[in-house]
Amino acid sequence: MKKSVCAALLCAPTFLLAAERDDALKLPDVLISASRQVESRTATSAANTVFTRADIDRLQPSGVTDLLARVPGVQVAPTGGRGSLPGIFIRGTKAAQTLVLVDGVRIANATSGDSGLQFLDVDQIERVEVLRGSRSAIYGSDAIGGVIQIFTRRGDGQGLQPRLRLAAGSNQTWQRSLGLSGGDDATRFNLGANLDETAGIDSTGPSYASDGDHDAYRNRSLNLNLSHAFNERFEAGLNLLDSRGRSEYDNPFGRFDMATFQSFGQKPYTDFTVSSLGTYLDAQLTEAWHSRLELGHSENRDDKRDKLSDERFVFNTYRDQVIWQNDFVVDEHNNLLAGADWYQDRVHASTDFTEDSRFNRAVFIQHRFTGEHFSTELGVRRDQNQQFGGQTTWSGSVTVPVNVDNDVLLSYSEGFRAPTFNDLYYPQYSNPNLDPERSKSYELQWRSQLSKESRLEASLYRTDLRDAIIFGAGSIPRNVASARISGFELGLEQQWGEWRSQLGLALIDPRDRDSGHTLARRARRTLSLDLDRQFERFSLGGSWQAVSGSYDDEANRNALGGYGLLGLRGGWAASDEVRLELKLDNLLDKPYSRALYSFDGSQYGYREEGRTWLLSLTWTPSL
């Protein structure tokens, strides 16, 4: 099956029913997120990085954000240990300017714009795709910096395949994972459950005495995939992912008492839920017409409490969405994608928002021409939003094959981000007249198969942001900021005999166009290197991550130092059913911070985990 999928993708894009789509998810050289259809990675205009389940098993990441930090042009800046809020910057844009999908369903919190990626367990994930650069012409709002799509874990098809994983590590970390997958030629399923617990670390130094405890984290997650092919042309299925638990954190700013005008320490925590449910119907209506209907529902619930007081803040958001996409093969050189997209956001919170729901509806179309001497892609999308009205975004690209091993791509794309409910409707600190943030991006790519053992992908880009939302006097948001982000990215995959290496390098100049200052928490230089080798039943690997200095504030007064992190990992297949793995992160016990906080008028860095270890056992018995 996998070989037939690979062969079909030589003429990408290819329209596949879900059983073949599940097989495609396991392949490193295909992409789904760029055009919502399976295609060869070399056929798309989007700069992209793909992590398959095999990559996840090899790299042994501690979480999704650990994977993202390996992507050229992606920076992660959390505020403490596991479960803490991560700032995710793709090509210098902020976290809310990146669209995050789980099996095609939007999962971002409609009040804050955060997606809760820190709460997704990698044991429940089959594949992660990262697109760098705007894709608003396909996806609409939020896709300014790029798109992150997570596909939940799939089975391999025939028979029953159970799996069990147990792990123990530093800071009283315990992980338990149980799964079962199987099926036949018509029906496939995968069911998995996880429990992840850690005592955590003390993420702040100088602060209130109440912040001196360790910040624990507990996550219970469940995923289910089910698909059934009625015949060769029709298939239906569903995808479910649910993660919920508790994350403790420090609040060095304290709780302010309006009656006494004093601040008091806290022991705050968040009870969280991030869930998505999607159903779909795939139909090959004719030889030239493929149609896919998707219905989705997501929930992002955030219940913040304090062990030392009755303080409580609830921000629960719910989203329903419908996507209808049609793919047409016009002839051997021309393909057409057309569809409609609708979603509605609702807010249930302890704060009374001026408005608590809004809808967005859109239509989109994209044409692709594939020729011998050049290829083109042209797309446009029209969004109609209940709050701000209409927004049209365009994208276009030209690909020129210099020879059989080298392609040059030139592209232009527009993007926008709709203001969140906090921006628009939060009592006393909002502005209902805000316009969407907008962007224009220009990019030049070079993709080269340097040799049989070497693959190089490089990008030179510029993004202009306007109408960016900042908080002015009285903490009221305004559309006044503008920024220009210029950058260079390079990804190199190299085989050195039995060793496999992956290098990611990014140079970036993210500037506020009004002040000339560097945007906060964006490092100008990042480098990631992974080196792995398989020795029959043994595997060995190492990672090196280097990040230059940055600033924690927009005024560039508070500097963050650069850092370098070294990690090692190894595995032993004791038998065909049992595997042992050990990883050591931050091997040199490097102290570093990726964000600052204020206490008593001084700035301090949030602590990150020092040297840590994790030992795991995976059992996949044969039935």
For the stretch 390-420, pLDDT in tens is 999 999 999 999 999 999 999 999 999 999 9
Q: Is the pLDDT of residue 618 over 50?
A: yes
Give the E-state strand segments of 285-330 in sequence order.
289-306, 312-329
pLDDT reported for residue 420 = 94
pLDDT tier at 156 (50, 70, 90 boundaries)? confident
pLDDT reported for residue 227 = 92
| Whole-Å CA distances, 591 to 203, 306, 561, 562, 598 | 12, 29, 10, 11, 19
pLDDT reported for residue 81 = 85
Distance CA 116, CA 150 (A): 12
Mean pLDDT of the residues in the chain = 93
CATH class as words, domain 2-274+287-619: mainly beta
Q: Which amino acid is at 473?
A: A
Between 397 and 4, where is the model more confident?
397
User: In sequence order, which residues have a C-beta less than 8 Å from that of residue 560 and are 6 or more positions away?
Assistant: 521, 549, 550, 551, 552, 593, 594, 595, 596, 605
The shares of helix, strand and coil residues in the chain, as percent rounded to the nearest 5, are 10, 55, 35
pTM reported for the whole predicted model: 0.95
Backbone angles phi, psi at 236, to 5 degrees: -135, 160
Lowest-confidence region among 176-185, 273-282, 315-324 = 176-185
Backbone angles phi, psi at 169, to 5 degrees: -165, -165
Lowest-confidence region among 10-24, 223-237, 300-314, 374-388 = 10-24
DSSP 425: H
DSSP 56: H
pLDDT reported for residue 258 = 67
Across the range 146-153, mean pLDDT stands at: 96
The answer to whether 57 and 531 have CB atoms below 8 angstroms apart is: no
Lowest-confidence region among 401-415, 469-483, 516-530, 554-568 = 469-483
